[in-house]
Structure formats: C-alpha cells, structure tokens
Amino acid sequence: MVHESQPSQVLITGAGGFLGTAIAARLRRLGIRVRGLSRRHYPRLDELGVEQVQGNIADSAAVARAIEGCDAVFHAAAKAGIWGPLDEYQRTNVEGTRVLLEQAERFHVRKLVYTSSPSVVFNGRELEGVDESTPYCRQFEAAYPRTKAQAEQMILAANGRDLATLSLRPHLVWGPGDNNLFPRIVARAQKGRLVKIGARDPLIDPVYIENAVDAHLSAITRLEPGSKVAGRVYFITQRETIRLWDMVNQFLAIAHLPPVSRSVARPLALAAAGLVELAYHVTRRDEEPPLTRFLVRQLSTSHWFNNEAAERDLGYRPAISIAQGMQLLAGDFHHKTHPISTDRPAVR
C-alpha cells in the first residue's frame, strides 16, 4: 500500500521564478527544507530561508550540487516565451530536463513533479473542456510548447520503480508576484499594442498562483513509486472560466488603464503576424516581435480544460476564485505602487 508523505528536503529548479518562489514560500511555512537552483541569486529566497545554488539547469555539476541530499524535486525551470532560437529552448527545456533526470537517478531521488503547460496540446483551434487524453500537437508554431512537450514525455518515461514522476499543466498562472502575464499585458497596453483579435471573446481558465501551489504540493504528497498518480499528467485549472478580454480589462483596471477598445479581424491579424515573423527572421532580431501567429491563435481561441482527474487523484480543488484573486492582485499592486511610508507617522 502506498502512503501519502511529505518530503524532508526539496529541490526547486527555477526557484527564483514566480511559481518557484511561491512553492518555496509554502514549503518553508510547512517547515520543509528547500534548496533552489537558479541562474542568479534572489534576495527573496534568502528571506524565505531557501538554500540557493547558482547554475544552469543543463550543467551537470550545478545540478549535482543542487540535488544532493534532496528526496524530492519540483522541476519548474524553463525558458518561456513565444520567440527565439530553437536551440536555446532545447538547451534549457530539453537538455536541462535530461540532466536533471540523470542526477535524480544518481542521487536516488524518490519523486519529481514537473511543471508543464497546456500549450503542449494547443493546435491553434478551440480547446473547450478537453481532458488529458488530448494528444500532443503535431506541428508547433513556437519553440516553447514544442520543447515543453519533449521534456514532459521524457519526465513521464522516467517514471519507474525507484523514481516516481508526474507532470502538471497549470494554465496561465497569475496573481501577486507575477513577473510575466500581468506586467506584460500592462506594458503592451501602455505602448498601445493591445488589440482584440477577431469578433469572439474566447473563454480561458487562468489559474491563481496559490491554487497552482496547492496542486503542486498535493502532487508531491501523493506521488510515490508505484502510486496511481505516478507516470501521469494532469491539467490544473481554475475550475471556472472567464472571457479572455474581460480578464485583460480587469488587469488594466487594476493598473488604472483604460479597457481595450480596438479590434482586428483574425485573418488580417494572422497575415500581419506572418509578415512580422518574416521580417524578424530576415533581420535576425532577437527581441520578441509584437505579434506572432502563435499569439494570434492564442488570443482568438477558447482554451479551458477538464479538472476532474486532478480532483479525483490529487485531491486538488481551487480554493481562491478569480474574483478573490483579482482583489488580492489589486491590493498587492496598490501596495507596491503606493507603499506606506515608515519615515513619518500616519495621518490620523
């Protein structure tokens, strides 16, 4: 019989990232020792009492230093984005995963939870309430989902008698501390680059950060060699949907910006994105283009997922609603943009 158990010492790859830091904070509150592997040093991890190892996930020596003595791993390190040379994504997302699995075997790690992405099954069309039986995309338009799919398959194939693995696919993680989704949307709006694509307002199910952390901790607790969750993949959802542009406009309202009002037809946006990509390829520009075909399809199609498997097997159920999450994000944003001064007494 397999028993649920908490690890005694955990390695988090990508510990300095949004999700990695949130997982580390929760583990430390539970009294679990945490070691983080990141490319640079993070003062926030020092504050949490996380032991930090600097290094690249594809560097065997760095991974060995980080993983020794750990009995469980959260693999959250990844090169994200919708643009860039394939070899850079391959090195971090695929080669890095291969190195991590080798070192996990070498140091007798018992369980490893991988943070994947629903984009591994995104084929440019509507994905409404689909479950884990949905096949991987056959032709990827971006290096990120392509390499994440490769890495996920490696993780699942590594599941065995000594090392138990599983993969989680949280969708569009957001909330206080977000250094990607929220700030990117705000930055695009400030530059006048936010435009609705197509006539529809597609449905999505973005996952609030603490709900994503709940799912990861539920997974690591239930995961053991031979357990029913070992070798499995799970969509992690908010269990409620929201219109994509409703969410964008709520983000903009928090940042005191006007809602998106302009729109462009989907075929025209796809054609424009193709020309932009061509221009960036020809001129070999490294920075992310303002528009790509992958982004156009993401912004003009519904993508929300079935959460039943995660509820049944992991006991995961989101505790914080989208409305509650928006309130928490607004409070965090207001605090950071209008901090309370400690230099003078408050006015009474």
**Catalytic residues, which ones?**
144
- DSSP letter, residue 225: T
Q: What are the start-end ranges of the E strands in 272-345?
A: 303-305
Spatial contact of 172 and 209, defined as CB atoms under 8 Å apart:
no
Measured from the Cβ of residue 29, the count of other Cβ atoms closer than 10 Å reads: 9
283 three-state secondary structure: helix
Return the closest-CA partner of residue 146 out of 117, 175, 167, 125. 117
> How far is residue 300's CA from residue 306's CA, in Å, rounded to a whole number?
20
What is the spatial distance between Cα 345 and Cα 348, in angstroms, rounded to a whole number?
9
- Give the helix/strand (H/E) hosting 103: helix 96-106
| Cα dihedral sign, 201-19-42-105 | negative
Q: Which amino acid is at 163?
A: L
Helix segments in 255-321, DSSP class H: 266-283, 293-300, 308-309
Question: Which two structure tokens, joined as six digits, stand for 193?
Answer: 């680059």
DSSP 95: I
Cβ-based neighbour number of residue 202 at 10 Å: 20
d(CA 236, CA 206): 9
Inter-residue contact 151 to 116 (CB < 8 Å): yes
Q: Widest CA span of the chain, in angstroms?
A: 64
